[in-house]
Amino acid sequence: MTESQLPTQYAPAEVEGKLYERWTSAGLFEADPDRDPGAPSYTIVIPPPNVTGSLHMGHALDHSIQDTLVRRRRMQGYEALWLPGMDHAGIATQNVVERELKKEGLTRHDLGREAFQERVWQWKAESGGRILGQMKRLGDSVDWSRERFTMDEGLSRAVLTIFKRLYDDGLIYRAERIINWCPRCLTALSDIEVEHSDREGELVSIRYTDDVTVATTRAETMLGDTAVAVHPSDERYAHLVGTEIELPLTGRRIPVVADEHVDPEFGTGAVKVTPAHDPNDFEIGQRHGLPSLTVLDEHAKVTAPGPFQGMDRYEARAAVVEALREQGRIVKEVRPYEHSVGHCQRCRTVVEPRVSLQWFVRVEPLAKAAGDAVRDGRVQIQPPELSSRYFAWVDNMHDWCISRQLWWGHRIPVWYGPDGEQRCFGPGEEAPEGWTQDTDVLDTWFSSALWPFSTLGWPDDTPDLRRFYPTSVLVTGYDILFFWVARMMMFGLYAMDGVEPFKVIALHGMVRDQHGKKMSKSFGNVVDPLDWIDRYGADATRFTLLRGANPGSDVPVAEDWAQGSRNFCNKLWNATRFALMNGAHVNGELPAGPSALSTTDAWILSRLQTVIAEVDAHLEGFDFAKACEALYHFAWDEVCDWYLELSKVPLAEGGEVAETTRRVLGEVLDTVLRLLHPMVPFVTEELWTALTGRETILRAAWPTADAARADAAAEAAVVSLQRLVTEVRRFRSDQGLKSGQRVTAALELDGSPLAAYEEQIRSLLKLTAPGESFTATASLPVEGVVVRLDTAGAIDVAAERARLEKDLAVARKEVAQTSGKLANADFVAKAPEAVIGKNRARLEAARADITRLEAQLEALPSA
């Protein structure tokens, strides 16, 4: 492709789809465990999105980071695998299908378990997984030939295998414990499925006896109280410990117990204990051998005999308070009280702590191993400061409730015999006739905890598992560090004989709006990444997210930033078109040696080596924001704004000097496009193939810095040139001269290192050579050069004199203030050296400004 084949404007919609199809058709994303055994391996398994999900900004950020890492490693010669797949999302998927059935006037119970499961599989085939197509829109370079699903045959076998192994090792057990219960979804929930938010409740103080008053926001649970607890050192209640009191409204007598958990400074220092409906109370009950009395059923309706039986928990709450009020037991009237309340992540129903017979994983030895792997350095957390959060979780982890009262999911492989026998059957084993299988399914996180190795063929010894495990890096949000990441660590170390599931855990923050607010439908600030992709392109969407992706920090985004990223892509497009129009190419070796290159060519190649090294360091440190910033400013500010403009003179000159510049221009754009490709894959592919004539940038070599190209002298010379041009441009702008307006000027360059760049200076500043009748009306001494301009009729001399005098007054005031400080012995003696150095630098700069401004004033014509 040539510049004549590149449209004048970049249209992402016309490029992205066809390029993605070309990449996938050619199998460019596919990894091969048998290809080049000597090449290093690099593996990322995608955090599996829910089968019910659609692409949101969090996904877009997460996937852009992963794609950047994988594309770079491919270019570096790694055998790189980015493995895609989806999670069956037990609760969410079952809810979706049940809503569809409701439209038909049916429930899952009308269908029965097997028919309902068939209906879910049908829904998955027809409507599930639309996020996979959206991932393609974003440009995810995943190996689609290895796509996995947590309910597919291979992963289901892995689930049965590890359950059986944990069960036989005594690490899975069944017990009555207190768990999170959703009265709407009618299932136990894991901690990650419960979202806590502050909610205003009503605190009521109830007098149980003349000596005991308790306060609660859940008066209905008093029907299940089996004790009152006080602190052992609380003298107010010492005489009551070991005695019994009557529980109001029930006629039951309950003991008063002493427990360290009670805070004697909070409230009255006495707390009601309802072991069946509060996790802290459950622990108190365990310590004191208290019975657990369940008074709310699975629908959160009262089961306790009496006038409240059958009431919903909220209806019962009001009724219980009213009954207590009638007995004169309300010590303080109901008052507002804000407290944290758990809600079901899927349906937003307030969860109910509830004692229930469930299956649990005994996590203590697994969690210790997961903590040790990070402590001894086998697994690194990036950024390292988030390690403390990880340890806070794994070092204090409670046993994991893994059973769910659902029909969609991996059914627990435990059967019960007719005589009360209980046995776990693994893959290939069959239960005896007459035995019945447990009706519960496993927590979705149980199967996704196996993701790093089950997706590679475990429990079989597969070529993929040997080549690509352990995986290289896990990229995910810090918000699920405790839940999914910790579970993968536990199961990976357990199943794979102590080999960690990944070498690095790279944590990123949450995407927020430009004001730092969490994106929420209720706030009206949710941004659909597909909307941005439609309007600005996938590259612009990705680059916007990556420019904000500082390690571990939240990522603010705004639409005008996406527009800016689109403009950047257009800048690259226009720069490449300019280069192709002027014959830039990548054929043959670059000229070597100082004499073979002009100063500007040597400068841009020297700067390029620095940028390569910077980008490499930032990407190795997972600092995508800094890598993007370095490339953005180099490509826009230095390549486009300076080098392209400086190259116009030698290109116009022709001959050998023009050919050298064409080759350097090709080299610079080739390298910049390769450095940018992992972040903005589509536009770089289109431009790079046009520039180089090669098939795809995907397999192009990743650039490496060449120290021999460093040229400090060339960089210093161009910096001096830039200062000169910038100062004259500022003067022109202050005088209201249009950027394209030509001005006659004489350049006094004798003895200046910039003498060789007169043509470039005139080209950049739109300066016409003077004729015989030339008369200077303004003179600017800059960088050892005097620029004498004839601005007659173009400059308001009085206004320019006023501006210079104002600037001169500011500079003189700065000199007076800073020199006064530095002359003060006390200041010099007490101030830190850095502060003194800063003041000295300010004094020197102000004095230089005075010299410059006085010269400019002297050069102005009289009014």
Report the 3 state secondary structure along 618-642.
HHHCCCHHHHHHHHHHHHHHHHHHH
* The pLDDT value given to residue 384: 94
* The pLDDT value given to residue 332: 75
Query: Mean pLDDT, 10 residues at a time, over the chain (863 residues)?
Result: 71 96 98 96 96 92 97 98 96 92 94 96 92 96 97 97 98 93 86 77 87 90 94 93 94 94 89 93 94 92 93 93 92 71 84 92 97 97 94 91 95 96 95 96 95 98 98 92 88 98 95 81 82 97 95 89 96 97 94 82 97 98 97 98 94 92 97 98 98 96 96 94 92 79 89 88 91 83 88 74 89 94 90 89 92 77 63
pTM of the model: 0.86
* The pLDDT value given to residue 1: 47
Phi-psi label, residue 766: left if phi above 0, alpha if psi -120 to 50, beta otherwise: left
* The pLDDT value given to residue 204: 87
Which secondary structure element, helix H or strand E, spans residue 380, and what is its range? strand 380-382
**Are the beta carbons of 313 and 352 closer than 8 angstroms?**
yes
Residue 806 annotated as binding? no
Asked whether the bond before 305 is cis by omega within 30 degrees of 0, the reply is no
Domain residue limits, the chain: 24-148+460-478+494-529, 187-353, 559-710, 738-859
Pairwise CA distance, residues 242 & 458, whole Å: 56
Asked whether the bond before 383 is cis by omega within 30 degrees of 0, the reply is yes
Residue 179 β-bridge partners: 354
Q: Which CATH architecture has domain 559-710?
A: Orthogonal Bundle (1.10)
**Are the beta carbons of 86 and 76 closer than 8 angstroms?**
no
Can you read off the two tokens belonging to residue 635?
Answer: 């490509």
Contacts of 485 (CB under 8 A, 6+ apart): 390, 474, 476, 505
**Are the beta carbons of 83 and 145 closer than 8 angstroms?**
no
Contacts of 802 (CB under 8 A, 6+ apart): none
* The pLDDT value given to residue 242: 93
Phi-psi label, residue 435: left if phi above 0, alpha if psi -120 to 50, beta otherwise: beta
SS3 of residue 98 by DSSP: helix
For the structural domain made of 187-353, what CATH number should be given? 3.90.740.10
Domain 738-859: CATH superfamily, name plus number: Valyl-tRNA synthetase, C-terminal domain (1.10.287.380)
Count how many residues are written for the chain. 863
Asked whether the bond before 459 is cis by omega within 30 degrees of 0, the reply is yes
Name the nearest CA neighbour of 664 among 602, 614, 714, 715.
602
* The pLDDT value given to residue 342: 86
For the structural domain made of 24-148+460-478+494-529, what CATH number should be given? 3.40.50.620
Beta strands in 536-595 (DSSP E): 555-557
Contacts of 147 (CB under 8 A, 6+ apart): 84, 85, 132
Pairwise CA distance, residues 241 & 235, whole Å: 10
Contacts of 577 (CB under 8 A, 6+ apart): 3, 6, 8
Residue 821, burial from CB neighbour count under 10 angstroms (0-12, 13-18, 19+): middle
Whole-Å CA distances, 449 to 124, 341, 443? 22, 27, 10
* The pLDDT value given to residue 774: 86
Whole-Å CA distances, 416 to 161, 172, 576? 19, 16, 71
Pairwise CA distance, residues 641 & 638, whole Å: 6
Cα angle 162, 167, 168; round to 5: 100
Which secondary structure element, helix H or strand E, spans residue 194, and what is its range? strand 194-207
Pairwise CA distance, residues 316 & 295, whole Å: 11
Name the nearest CA neighbour of 714 among 792, 770, 653, 642.
642
Distance of CA 211 to the CA centre of its chain: 54
Contacts of 503 (CB under 8 A, 6+ apart): 378, 379, 380, 470, 471, 472, 473
**Are the beta carbons of 381 and 390 closer than 8 angstroms?**
yes
